[in-house]
Amino acid sequence: MKSDFRARNHPAYWAFAAHRVSGVLLALFLPLHFWALGQALHGEAGLESFLRWSEQPLVKFAETVLVLLLAAHLTGGLRLLALEFLAWRDWQKRLLAGAAGLTLAAGLLFLLNAGPAAAQAYPVKPVRVIVPFPPGGAADIVARAITHEMGRAWGAQVVVDNRAGAGGLIGAEHAARAAPDGYTLLFASASPMTVSPHLALRPPYHPIRDFTPIVLIGFSPNVIVVHPSLPARSMKELIALARARPGQINYASNGVGTLSHLAMELVKHQAGINLVHVPYKGGAPAMIDTVAGQCSVFFAAYPTLSAQVKAGRLRALAVTSTRRIALAPELPTVAEAALPGFEATQWWGAYGPVGLPAALVAKLNADIGRALQSAEVKSRLAADAAEPAGGTPGDLAAYLRTDYERWGKVVKASGIRAE
């Protein structure tokens, strides 16, 4: 029987050849497949790392080859089995093998497209957006405006999860360790991604290696404010006062290692003054204590402070961007007011854990990008002098890398360490 198959004029010759060739290749491939799966499941890295690895283009290609081999092997094998065991007519045997092959191929095509299909079905359960600062701060305000829009577009729950502490390190670490399935995202300001990791003795994550950038959310200038009881109406007056009363004026920050902390340390460094640092868990509690007069100076993103400044409970001295802002054109920049060359812009980005599937990244980038362009989010951000950004995941990756390196140099030059 079998020798007949090998004859070129045998009706099942091609089924036989396909079965043999695919069989040999599968026999070589399967031990590797079993071994790699066993390694991933027994190793410390776990199955998630195996799945991340399997997202690589070369591995995807190998998987495609494997499933095509499997389809060829099963189709050819069924044809041979039918010839050997079934007393059917030849067209019936061909039909059996063809139908099985087509069914398998359809299933495999489905499987190969499972990534994009999963992205289309996403989200099928609530999405958690980690904000590594307390409610009420700038990062939280921006995140809530955008997640509200995302939830409305998806018809799904998008929950903001405030995980504050350690300058954003705690919340960001939590997001870095989550499964890369799109159901845990991070909306972070610049601090935990570009500043805090340089200050921590043992950073719990690497901002570039442990995250998948999704989209640049927006920018906002920082503002230096003082409590109205402090006799300083300009940056120059604040610096002069601090020089006259060294170590007697305190300043609040969003936390150790945040941009709010480091930028103020830069002011101290450049102006040669000594202010006492009072770190909080985020912008909101720092602002509350500054309004209450517990702290005299505060340096934070404009969205955190705008309402208090407008109400006269805090006095704004200068903005930290390179240009004045349209919402408060009377405020000079720190650079023009006292410290030439000074700049510390706040910005926010959306990230997933490393290994987020490309199809999901593309969907999230498009959907968050759309939310950023919505009139509601735009007006909400504009009310706080924040500008929506957008762009590709690559744009955020490039921006993150540049800012991460810039603050690394600042930290190194200033000698600031986490307290």
Partner 1 sequence: MTGRGDLSVRAQVLLWTAQRASAAVLAVCVVVHLVTILYAVRGGLTAAEVLGRTQGSVAWAAFYFLFVAAVAVHAPIGLRSVLAETFNWRGRSLEVTVIVIALALALWGLRAVYAVFI
Min dist CB 149 to partner 1, Å, is 22
Nearer to partner 1, 114 or 276 (CB): 114
Strand partners, 131: 162
Nearer to partner 1, 22 or 196 (CB): 22
Nearer to partner 1, 118 or 278 (CB): 118
**CA atoms within 13 Å, Cβ hemisphere of 304:** 32
Min dist CB 107 to partner 1, Å, is 5
Min dist CB 155 to partner 1, Å, is 15
Nearer to partner 1, 76 or 192 (CB): 76
Nearer to partner 1, 161 or 387 (CB): 161
Min dist CB 8 to partner 1, Å, is 16
Beta-carbon contacts of 271 under 8 Å, excluding residues fewer than 6 positions away, are: 239, 242, 338, 339
Nearer to partner 1, 121 or 311 (CB): 121
Nearer to partner 1, 186 or 318 (CB): 186
Nearer to partner 1, 60 or 125 (CB): 125
Going by DSSP bridges, is the β-strand pair 387-390/211-226 parallel, antiparallel, or unpaired? antiparallel
Contact footprint for partner 1 (CB under 8 A): 2, 20, 23-24, 26-27, 30-31, 34-35, 37-38, 41-42, 46-48, 50-51, 70, 74, 77-78, 81, 84-85, 100, 104, 107-108, 110-111, 114, 117-118, 121-125, 179, 181
Min dist CB 370 to partner 1, Å, is 22
Min dist CB 353 to partner 1, Å, is 11
Min dist CB 222 to partner 1, Å, is 38
Distances (CA, A) of 292 to 13, 233, 254, 284, 299: 88, 18, 16, 12, 15
Distances (CA, A) of 180 to 50, 276, 350, 355: 12, 41, 14, 6
Q: Which two tokens stand for residue 414?
A: 């200033």
Beta-carbon contacts of 56 under 8 Å, excluding residues fewer than 6 positions away, are: none
Min dist CB 376 to partner 1, Å, is 28
Min dist CB 114 to partner 1, Å, is 4
Nearer to partner 1, 79 or 380 (CB): 79
Which residue reads 């041979």 in tokens? 80
Min dist CB 45 to partner 1, Å, is 12
Nearer to partner 1, 100 or 398 (CB): 100
Distances (CA, A) of 317 to 39, 225, 227, 233: 59, 6, 11, 7
Nearest to 268 by CA among 304, 288, 238: 238
